[in-house]
Amino acid sequence: MHNNYYFLRQLSKSLEKSLTGTVISECFSQNKDELIIRFETHTEPFFIKASLEPAFSCLSFPDNFSRARKNSVDLFEKMIGSRVSGIRQFNNERSFAILLTDDLTLLFKMHGNRSNIILFEKDIPITLFRNNIPADVNLQLDSLDRTIDWSYESFLQHRAKLPSLYFTFGKIVWKYLDDRNFEMLSPEQQWNEIQNIKRLLEDPVYYITQTDTTLALSLLGYGKTIKEFTDPAKAVNDFFYTYTQHAAFFREKASAISSIRHKLQGSESYYQKTFEKLAEVEGDNHYKVWADLIMAHMHTIKMGTEKVTLPDFYHENNPIEIKLKKDISPQKNAENFYRKAKNQHIEIERLQQALEGKEKEIENLKQQLLEIETIGELKSLRKTISATGFTSEKEKQTAPLPFHEFDHNGFRIWVGRNAQANDILTFKYGFKEDLWLHAKDVPGSHVLIKYQSGKNFPKDVIERAAQLAAYNSKRKTETLCPVVVTPKKFVRKRKGDPAGAVVVEREEVIMVEPLKEV
């Protein structure tokens, strides 16, 4: 209810006492959705901090505010030096205005994700803080006042749609009434409840409450009460700080839990696949059996035989067919099978070790997940996250890739962003099978065509990649540009070469027109 009409009405009364007669000395922004206004009083300066993020818009009134030296921009310069003559609260509306000298009015429209701050001159909007709400350009101050018919007759007439009639109540009030079985009450009892609510809202106490994981500034004490206030400015100050801390806690906790669960899922999937592979390898001992049978029947097998059928004395002498390499002796064939059997044994040991390590990792992840799920405080959460080394998926993806990606006839073409990115693209993201391109003898982007197993690089794909290499080079304005084409395995970098500089050991040159789009 921090943007509810009944709260703003109390807040605007408080602000009128604090601001009337003060002078605006600064108005600036350091973040896209945050505006700071400084008022000079006879003693200490007074600050309004308006945080108008779409997900959470809220006013607060910090005692002090240090302006950053960088990334700070002055706004609403026309009102700097103006004196506050009063505050206007609009009737039944989530908006109030600071009245200034020089026919200026600063409107605070607290409409959730459409909140905005607008400067009027002679009742005409001249400056918007959030320019992405174009409808605010046509706002008229006198049109903001709204009326509600509080008569009993109107109540009876609108009983089926009371939230529309009493639109100033807001969601928390109606949840509060629902918990009191409002729908089950008689008309007279409902009317009495409405009057009681109205009295509470018009002479409120301010509560910071929690329901499930949601914090709210309430005028009714709905939910679990965390703190209680009698001053609206102090209440919203504390609420803003508590909410941002609370939101950060749940956001970071959810991110950490998601990261651990994602890694746990991957570890469990790896464990299952490795377990199945181990069972397959352990159950497949035919190489040793074949080798033993060949050695036992060496005298019956002729050189150059491609396959032989022998009685399997491990399985009741059932006949078994064994394929041989005809160009080597039976003994060499047996040695090959013994070597493969030995490699199988090594693989079994490796798989067993991998399973043991993955079991420990899974157990550790489950323990970390349980620990994070039980944490209830931001500082402890961050300490634990730092100790585990987990990073949210979003944070992992913040670093941009060093290339732009294009698609042409099913082939991916990667174009380096700059000289440093060229090195990363070619030597970190490139594989020897990829095709590498670069405009000949001029600075430009490295370009890779990603190899697809079993497929040759089509001529049109090579030409398209060459056009991109030409366009992203110093030859982009030329009619035709020579472009080097070579497998990536023939590209190397010498120690001490500057970023993007490489040596090409083999190359083919084709001529293309520089084109960004086709």
Say yes or no: 195 and 119 in one domain: no
Phi, psi of 105 (to 5 degrees): -140, 130
DSSP calls for 202-223:
HS--EEEEEETTEEEEESS--S
pLDDT of 399 reads: 62
Examine the pLDDT at 115 and tell me if it is beyond 80: yes
Among residues 108, 143, 178, which one ends one of the domains? 143
Q: Percentage of the chain with pLDDT > 90?
A: 57
Among residues 388, 417, 451, which one ends one of the domains? 388
Of 90, 92, 95, nearest to 114 by C-alpha is 95
Q: Cα dihedral sign for 428, 431, 434, 436?
A: positive
The answer to the question of residue 358 being in a domain is yes
Of 397, 431, 393, nearest to 414 by C-alpha is 431
pLDDT of 68 reads: 78
pTM: 0.58
pLDDT of 394 reads: 47
Compute the distance between CA of residue 446 and CA of residue 441 in angstroms, rounded to an integer. Answer: 13
Compute the distance between CA of residue 423 and CA of residue 434 in angstroms, rounded to an integer. Answer: 15
pLDDT of 13 reads: 94
pLDDT of 245 reads: 80
Kind plus residue range of the DSSP H or E element containing 230: none
Examine the pLDDT at 69 and tell me if it is beyond 50: yes
Say yes or no: 304 and 415 in one domain: no
Examine the pLDDT at 518 and tell me if it is beyond 70: no
Query: Best-predicted range by mean pLDDT among 3-12, 213-222, 391-400, 509-518?
Result: 3-12
Please give the single-letter amino acid code of residue 499. Answer: A
Q: Percentage of the chain with pLDDT > 70?
A: 97
DSSP state of 475: T
The answer to the question of residue 219 being in a domain is yes
Examine the pLDDT at 222 and tell me if it is beyond 90: no
Compute the distance between CA of residue 224 and CA of residue 214 in angstroms, rounded to an integer. Answer: 10
Q: State the average pLDDT over residues 92-110.
A: 95
Give the confidence band of 463 by pLDDT, cuts at 50, 70, 90: very high
Say yes or no: 137 and 176 in one domain: no
Query: The tokens of 105 are what?
Result: 């009015």
Say which residues have a Cβ less than 8 Å from residue 407's Cβ, sequence separation at least 6.
Answer: 413
Say yes or no: 189 and 133 in one domain: no
8 A C-beta contact, residue 107 and residue 97: yes
The answer to the question of residue 247 being in a domain is no
Phi, psi of 70 (to 5 degrees): -120, 165
Give the confidence band of 328 by pLDDT, cuts at 50, 70, 90: very high
Say yes or no: 66 and 114 in one domain: yes
8 A C-beta contact, residue 143 and residue 163: no
The larger pLDDT score, comparing residue 78 to residue 382, is at 78
Q: State the average pLDDT over residues 315-324.
A: 90
> The domain spanning residue 103 has which CATH number?
2.30.310.10
The answer to the question of residue 249 being in a domain is no
Say which residues have a Cβ less than 8 Å from residue 97's Cβ, sequence separation at least 6.
Answer: 87, 88, 90, 105, 106, 107, 108, 120, 141
Compute the distance between CA of residue 465 and CA of residue 484 in angstroms, rounded to an integer. Answer: 11
Query: Best-predicted range by mean pLDDT among 51-65, 199-213, 299-313, 465-479?
Result: 465-479
The larger pLDDT score, comparing residue 472 to residue 215, is at 472
8 A C-beta contact, residue 239 and residue 257: no
Please give the single-letter amino acid code of residue 159. Answer: R
The answer to the question of residue 210 being in a domain is yes
Of 508, 505, 500, nearest to 426 by C-alpha is 500
Q: Residues 193-211: pLDDT tens digits?
A: 999 999 999 988 998 888 8
The answer to the question of residue 398 being in a domain is no
Say yes or no: 181 and 94 in one domain: no
Q: Residues 397-447: pLDDT tens digits?
A: 456 789 999 989 889 999 999 999 999 999 999 999 999 999 999 999 999
Among residues 126, 143, 160, which one ends one of the domains? 143
Q: Residues 126-145: pLDDT tens digits?
A: 999 998 888 999 999 999 99
Compute the distance between CA of residue 413 and CA of residue 69 in angstroms, rounded to an integer. Answer: 43
Say yes or no: 369 and 475 in one domain: no
pLDDT of 387 reads: 76
Query: The tokens of 343 are what?
Result: 């490699």
Say yes or no: 99 and 180 in one domain: no
Say yes or no: 14 and 129 in one domain: yes
The count of domains in the chain is: 4
Compute the distance between CA of residue 137 and CA of residue 124 in angstroms, rounded to an integer. Answer: 9
Of 283, 215, 212, nearest to 243 by C-alpha is 215
Examine the pLDDT at 396 and tell me if it is beyond 70: no
Structural domain boundaries, residue 30: 5-143
Please give the single-letter amino acid code of residue 341. Answer: A
Say yes or no: 85 and 192 in one domain: no
Say yes or no: 47 and 94 in one domain: yes
Examine the pLDDT at 56 and tell me if it is beyond 90: no
The answer to the question of residue 396 being in a domain is no
Examine the pLDDT at 18 and tell me if it is beyond 60: yes
Give the confidence band of 172 by pLDDT, cuts at 50, 70, 90: confident
Q: Residues 354-394: pLDDT tens digits?
A: 899 999 999 998 988 888 888 877 788 888 877 776 654 44
Query: The tokens of 40 are what?
Result: 């000079």
Compute the distance between CA of residue 355 and CA of residue 282 in angstroms, rounded to an integer. Answer: 14
Compute the distance between CA of residue 297 and CA of residue 139 in angstroms, rounded to an integer. Answer: 100
Alpha helices, DSSP H only, in 284-404? Answer: 286-296, 330-374, 378-388, 393-396
Q: Taking all residues of the chain, what is their mean pLDDT, rounded to a whole number?
A: 89
> CA dihedral defined by 69, 75, 79, 84, rounded to 10 degrees?
-70
Say yes or no: 445 and 421 in one domain: yes
First to last CA, the chain: 54
Compute the distance between CA of residue 130 and CA of residue 54 in angstroms, rounded to an integer. Answer: 11
pLDDT of 314 reads: 84
Examine the pLDDT at 517 and tell me if it is beyond 90: no
8 A C-beta contact, residue 18 and residue 237: no
The answer to the question of residue 156 being in a domain is yes
Report residue 323 CA to chain centroid gap. Answer: 56
Q: State the average pLDDT over residues 28-57.
A: 91
pLDDT of 212 reads: 72
The larger pLDDT score, comparing residue 373 to residue 45, is at 45
